A = this chain, B = another copy of it.
Amino acid sequence: METLRQRWQRIIFGTDTPAGQLFDVILIIAILGSVVAVMLDSVSSLRSAYGATFYVLEWFFTLLFTLEYMVRLWVSERPLRYARSFFGIVDLLSIIPTYLSLFIPGSNYLLTIRALRVLRVFRVMKLAKFMGEANQLGIALIRTRRKIAIFMFSVFVVIIIFGSLMYVVEGPHNGFTSIPRSIYWAIVTITTVGYGDISPQTPFGQLIASMAMITGYAIIAVPTGIVTAEISAARVSMRYERECPGCHRHNHDPDARFCLQCGTELPKLSLKGED
């Protein structure tokens, strides 16, 4: 006989049973509904008209998600591991702001962090195809982390130097009132965002700004090159790593379901990581 805890375990963590799938679908609808409610509540014309409704909705969803969080802790085999996992922390952060808003007004708008919970949607679509694609992307991005770190570190040094240079050249009269603010300008420029809220006025400042822009324009090639090379490599390695349990042939597509040599069913790809 199944206990109540086992039953809820099956509903919450199971994705193959009808009850588990229904739970996931309802959960995602509730998350989307609560995020939309928080967004609309921030529009002043809507808040003055439906403020009370939004208030009730916010507490309704918060209590619902609080209950869900406690059930997850209760049914989890290793509650601490869940609580410290990515989704465990997101689940907690998704309910805290409402309680905080009793003390700090306005903090309830941070409830949109609930949007992160929607990423569970990939779990609902736990099809081999999506898993394979997500895995490929994940492997590629994790492998680039050191190269990207070296790149970002070097870019920050360049940004600090351009920012200080502009502070000295343009001075506080043209909007570059401090080095931190000049660094903000350098980030706006090198990332090619270019708000134009601060822009150089002197010819020499425009010359340095031009160099910053060309730097920003050219170096975007570096992270793109790093990620592209890894994604290309991940494509190849993913294919290679799938081995047929029958004939031990490698080199199957991520979305292949049967061995292309002997027809044996291939093991499903499992998403590495928690949840």
Q: Which residue of B lies closest to A213 (CB)?
A: B191
Interface residues of A in 207-249 (CB under 8 A from B): 207, 209-210, 213-214, 216-218, 220-233, 235
Give the copy number. 4
- A156→B207 CA distance, assembly (Å): 14
Q: Which residue of B lies closest to A217 (CB)?
A: B191
| A181 part of interface (Cβ distance < 8 Å) | yes
The 8 A CB mask of A185-197 against B (1 = contact, 0 = none) is 0011111111111
- A203→B45 CA distance, assembly (Å): 13
- A229→B231 CA distance, assembly (Å): 7
Q: B116 touching A161 by the CB < 8 A rule? A: yes
| Total contacting residues, chain A, CB less than 8 A | 90
Q: B233 touching A235 by the CB < 8 A rule? A: yes
Q: A193 touching B213 by the CB < 8 A rule? A: yes
In this complex, the member of A35, A111, A188 whose beta carbon has the largest number of chain B beta carbons within 10 angstroms is: A188
- A237→B158 CA distance, assembly (Å): 29
Q: B157 touching A118 by the CB < 8 A rule? A: yes
- A232→B140 CA distance, assembly (Å): 13
The 8 A CB mask of A138-176 against B (1 = contact, 0 = none) is 001100001110111110110011011101100010000
Interface residues of A in 109-139 (CB under 8 A from B): 109-113, 115-116, 118-119, 121-122, 129-130, 133-134, 136-137
Q: A191 touching B214 by the CB < 8 A rule? A: yes
Q: Beyond A112-B163, A152-B218, A229-B231: 11 further Cβ-contacts under 8 Å?
A: A39-B183, A42-B180, A43-B179, A113-B161, A116-B161, A180-B203, A194-B195, A195-B196, A224-B227, A225-B227, A228-B231
Top 6 A-B pairs, shortest CB-CB distance = A193-B194, A195-B196, A112-B164, A225-B228, A191-B217, A225-B227
Can you list 16 A-B contacts with CB-CB less than 8 angstroms, sorted by A residue number? Answer: A39-B179, A44-B172, A106-B168, A111-B164, A112-B161, A115-B161, A130-B146, A133-B150, A148-B218, A181-B203, A195-B195, A195-B199, A222-B227, A224-B224, A225-B231, A229-B231
